[in-house]
Structure 1
Amino acid sequence: MSAEVLVVDGGRTADQAGRPVTEVAVGVLIDAQGRFLLTSRPPGKVYAGYWEFPGGKLEAGESVEEALRRELIEEIGVCIGPAHAWRTQLVDYPHALVRLHFCKVYAWSGELQMHEGQQFSWERLPVQCAPVLAGTVPVLRWLEEEAAAPR
């Protein structure tokens, strides 16, 4: 879990007092070749065209894993196996204060179907797609740190 707040809008001081936190479940899908899935933000949404890990907001009463299962079926058409809670990052975007709950997912069924008009890319480090959403940057750094760690 990360105690730091990632502030996105050019150095504004994070002032979270009184701002509601939007809880978001995020899937880091990793295939058998070690590639991870990135999807583009759909047209019409904030940061449309930016690349991120797929996921979405928790609904009332949902756990992170329940929200992730629902969101990935709705957004990309896959039913995931176990979701392994990994890291959490608070991101202070100009439009919202968001707590991202990242889960690693190694098993899923179904073919990718971009239900919201987004694009997808199976990536390795360094990623080739751009621009990458600010909340995705720490995950890429964590993956890089894990890859560099002695086994």
Structure 2
Amino acid sequence: MKTVLVVAAALIDNDGRVLIAQRPEGKSLAGQWEFPGGKVEEGETPEAALIRELEEELGITTKAACLAPFVFASHTYETFHLLMPLYLIRRWEGTARALEHTALKWVKPKDLRDYPMPPADAPLVAYLVDFL
């Protein structure tokens, strides 16, 4: 089974809320909420991939020094195994916009459980609730 490396971000605003993004129609798990991020391309570091993905998906910029490795998910889907490090980010430039998602929401960590998430993202919520 192929292992796919994907990176994700828990962007945290000044009020302690976390940004989640709703997967668009036409993609697998459409309508579910996820932490923004995406696939690591060949020859790319996870940090470079996350910086690129945040610019493509949300229109924001950040630097590797602002990415704090936090926890990771390891989940087997039907056709591949996903390995996904989650980084905490408190500093970025620009205002997050839904460029590739249906919607974005800033949510208090304790309320993240109210949003349906893909199987790889959902277990990460408990870590965020305990840490934040």
TM-score by length of 2: 0.90
Give 1:9's aligned residue. none
1:143 counterpart SS class: helix
Identity among equivalent positions (%) equals 31
Is it true that 1:106 corresponds to 2:90 in the alignment?
yes
For structure 1, which segment, 121-130 or 69-78, has the greater mean C-alpha deviation from structure 2 after superposition?
121-130
Q: CA deviation at 1:129?
A: 5.0
Q: Check conservation: 1:90, 1:99, Cα contact below 8 A.
A: yes
Q: 1:28 aligns with which of 10, 14, 20?
A: 10
Structure number with the higher helix fraction is 2
Runs of 4+ in 1 over 3 A off after TM superposition: none
Q: 1:87 aligns with which of 71, 90, 98?
A: 71
Give 2:25's aligned residue. 43
- The structure-2 alpha-carbon separation of the partners of 1:97 and 1:128, relative to structure 1 and needing over 3 Å to count, comes to closer
Q: CA deviation at 1:123?
A: 0.4
How far apart, in 2, do the equivalents of 1:37 and 1:58 lie? 20
User: Gaps (5+ residues) in structure 2?
Assistant: none
Is it true that 1:123 corresponds to 2:107 in the alignment?
yes
Q: 1:138 aligns with which of 112, 120, 123?
A: 123
TM-score by length of 1: 0.79
User: Gaps (5+ residues) in structure 1?
Assistant: 1-18
- The structure-2 alpha-carbon separation of the partners of 1:129 and 1:76, relative to structure 1 and needing over 3 Å to count, comes to farther
Instruction: Give CA deviations for 1:28-55 in whole Å, capped at 9, x if unaligned.
Output: 1011111000001122111011001000
Q: CA deviation at 1:94?
A: 1.7
| Aligned length in residues | 129
Which structure has the greater CA radius of gyration? Answer: 1
What letter is aligned with 2:131?
E
Q: CA deviation at 1:130?
A: 2.7
